[in-house]
Amino acid sequence: MADFLYGLVLGIVQGLAEFLPVSSSGHLELAKYIFGDKSLGEESLLLSVILHVGTMMSTVVVFRKEILEILRGIVHPANKEEKTFALKIILSMVPAAFVGLFFEKQLEVFFESKIQWVSFFLICTAALLYLAGKASRSNQPLSYTNAFIIGIAQAVAILPGISRSGSTIATSVLLGIDKKTAAQFSFLMVLPLIFGKVCKDVLDGAFTETTLSPTVAITGVITSFITGIFACTVMIELVKKSKLGFFAIYCLIIGSFGLVYFYFLKA
C-alpha cells in the first residue's frame, strides 16, 4: 500500500509539473525528500526517467496530429514545411543529448536529495518565467538558430529545479516566437530524448539491475500519463494567454521555502 501511495503521489507530481512550468524533476526530488527516499542518484534519476515515460505518452496523445506531420516530414521530404520542422526538432535535441551522454554521472549528484540546489534552481526558473512574462514580441519565425538555442535551454533544464517546459517556452517567448508555436515545440522536442534515454537504459541493463519497486514504477507511469493529458492541454491555453507570472511567483515561494527549511528549520 505504501508503494502504491508513493507511486500515485509521484505520478501526479510528474504529470502536472512536466507541462506546467514549475520543474517536474525539482518537485519529484522535493517529494522524494518529504517521503524520506534516500535512493542513490543513479536510482533516483532512473525513477525520474520512468515517470517521464508516462508524460511522454500523454504528449503523444495530445499532439498526435502534429507528430504524424513530423513523421511525414521525415518519411516524405518533399513536404518542405513538415521536413523543416522535423529537422528543427532534431537540432534542438543535440545539446541535451550531448549533456546526457557525457555528463550523466555528474548530473546524478543533483538527484541525491540535494534540496538546497533544487530550491535554488526553482528560484532561477521563477526569474526566467518573470522575464518571459514581460516579453512583448511574439511573431518571429522558429529558425534553426532559435531551435538550437531552445535546445540549450532544454539541456540546462536537466538540472532538477530548472523547469524544462518553463525554460524552453520562456526562451522561445524571449526570442519572440509565437506563443502557440513555442508551447508545441517545447512539448514535442522532448519526446525523442525521453525515448532515447529509455532505450539507452534498457541496453545498459539499468531496468534489470534496479531495486526500484515495480508497484511504484507502474503506478507512477499510469498516473503521470492521466494527469499529463490534463496538464498539457491546460498549459497550451495558459501560454497563449501569457499566464506565466503566477508560476513565477509559485516557483519563487517554493524555492525560497526550500532554502529556508534546509538552512534554518532542518533538525
pLDDT, tens digit, 9 for 90 and up, residues 28-74: 888 888 887 766 566 777 788 888 889 999 999 998 988 887 777 66
Question: Residue with C-alpha cell 506546467?
Answer: 20
Q: How far apart are CA 80 and CA 93, in angstroms?
A: 20
The mean pLDDT of the chain is 85
Residues 207-247: pLDDT tens digits? 566 677 889 889 999 999 999 999 888 887 877 776 788 88
258-261: long-range pairs with CB below 8 Å, 24+? 258/30, 258/115, 258/116, 258/118, 258/119, 258/122, 259/116, 259/119, 259/120, 259/123, 261/115
Residue 107 and residue 92: Cα distance in Å, rounded? 20
Judged on CB neighbours under 10 Å (0-12, 13-18, 19+), 68 is exposed
- The whole-number pLDDT of residue 129 equals 92
- pTM of the entire structure? 0.85
One DSSP character per residue, 133-158 reads: HH-----B---HHHHHHHHHHHHHTT
Burial string for 246-260 (b: 16+ CB within 10 Å, else e) reads ebbebbbebbeebbe
Identify the pLDDT of residue 144. 95
Rounded Cα distance between 4 and 16, Å, is 18
pLDDT in tens, 89-128: 999 999 998 988 888 788 777 777 678 898 999 999 999 9
**Coil, strand or helix at 177:** strand
Report, as an integer, the average pLDDT of 134-162: 89
